[in-house]
């Protein structure tokens, strides 16, 4: 066992100011902490960073890259949250994953997708990237429809989505701890 509780980093790939993706991710991270297993959680909002477009020829890392890399290295497990953009993850999420492929090996991942459809291709694409980085994925993710499942004030109205977020929070903590 490690000398610290499981550390979960939630990564929000939404660029929308009042993002339902970020709201669902914050709820999820609260559930992670509430599990009673002593897990810690942090959120990385890619909207508030200025991570340059990934270039393998860049010689010196940007300050944003250094800050984000420190967060990634802190984490034992991740939950990646993105809106469905034309059946794929956001460009910000893909850019984040391009930067940190080495640090993702051996880590456990969960997925959240805001989609008016089911978000299945989006989560499959994130799983594919994580698998190529030698990460471990939970066999399911949570998708929701931001327009239908949240009210105008940003409160989650769909109890089934809340239950799935709680279930995935529990599973990420349990399996993330075992895999770590």
**Model confidence pLDDT, tens digit, residues 131-172:** 999 999 999 999 999 889 999 899 999 999 999 999 999 999
Q: Residue 18's pLDDT band (boundaries 50, 70, 90)?
A: confident
Work out whether strand 7-12 and strand 108-114 pair parallel, antiparallel, or are unpaired: unpaired
What pLDDT is attached to residue 58? Answer: 84
Q: What is the 3-state secondary structure (H, E, C) of 58-105?
A: CCCCCHHHHHHHHHHHHCCEEEEEEECECCECCHHHHHHHHHCCHHHC
Model pTM above 0.85: yes
Q: Which pLDDT belongs to residue 69?
A: 93
Question: Please, what's the b/e burial string for 33-68 (b: 16 or more CB within 10 A of its CB; e: otherwise)?
Answer: bebeeebbbebbbbeebebeeeeeeeeeeeeebeeb
Q: Which residues touch 178 (CB under 8 Å, ≥6 apart)? A: none
Question: pLDDT tens-digit profile of 62-87?
Answer: 888 899 999 999 999 999 999 999 99
Report whether 31 contacts 166 (CB < 8 A): yes
pLDDT band at 126 (very low <50, low <70, confident <90, very high): very high
**Nearest by Cα to 47 from 83, 74, 98, 86:** 83
Can you tell me whether residue 6 is helix, strand or coil?
coil
Residue 62 backbone zone (phi > 0: left; psi -120 to 50: alpha; other: beta): beta
- Parallel, antiparallel or unpaired: strands 77-83 and 108-114: parallel
Instruction: Say if residue 97's pLDDT is above 90.
Output: yes
Q: Please provide the average confidence, as pLDDT, over all residues in the chain.
A: 93
Instruction: Give the model's pLDDT for residue 63.
Output: 87
Mean pLDDT of 101-119: 92
Q: How confident is the model at residue 26 (pLDDT cuts 50, 70, 90)?
A: very high
pLDDT value, residue 2? 62
Q: Are 11 and 38 in contact (CB under 8 A)?
A: no
- In the block, residue with structure tokens 């909207």: 47
Per-residue confidence (pLDDT) for residue 56, from 0 to 100: 87
- DSSP letters, 122-176, are HHHHHHHHHHHTT-EE-S--EEE-HHHHB-TTS-B--HHHHHHHHHHHHHHHHHH
| pLDDT greater than 60 at residue 105 | yes
Q: Is the pLDDT of residue 35 over 90?
A: no
Percent of the chain with pLDDT over 90: 76
Task: Write phi, then psi, for 42 (nearest 5 degrees).
Answer: -135, 160
Residue 138 pLDDT: 97
| In the predicted structure, residue 31 carries a pLDDT above the cut 90 | yes
């Amino acid at each position: 066992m490690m000398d610290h509780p499981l550390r979960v980093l939630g990564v929000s790939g939404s660029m929308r100011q009042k993002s339902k993706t970020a709201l669902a991710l914050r709820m999820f991270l609260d559930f992670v902490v509430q599990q009673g297993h002593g897990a810690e959680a942090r959120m990385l909002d890619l909207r508030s960073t200025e991570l340059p477009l990934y270039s393998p020829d860049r010689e010196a890392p940007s300050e944003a890259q250094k800050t984000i890399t420190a967060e990634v290295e802190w984490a034992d497990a991740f939950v990646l949250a993105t809106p469905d953009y034309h059946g794929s993850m956001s460009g910000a999420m893909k850019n984040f994953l391009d930067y940190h492929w080495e640090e993702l090996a051996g880590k456990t991942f969960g997925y959240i997708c805001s989609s008016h459809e089911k978000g299945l291709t989006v989560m499959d694409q994130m799983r594919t990237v994580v698998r190529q980085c030698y990460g471990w994925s939970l066999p399911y993710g949570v998708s929701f429809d931001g327009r239908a499942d949240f009210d105008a004030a940003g409160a989650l109205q769909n109890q089934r989505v809340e239950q799935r977020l709680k279930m995935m929070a529990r599973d990420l903590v349990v399996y993330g701890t075992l895999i770590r």
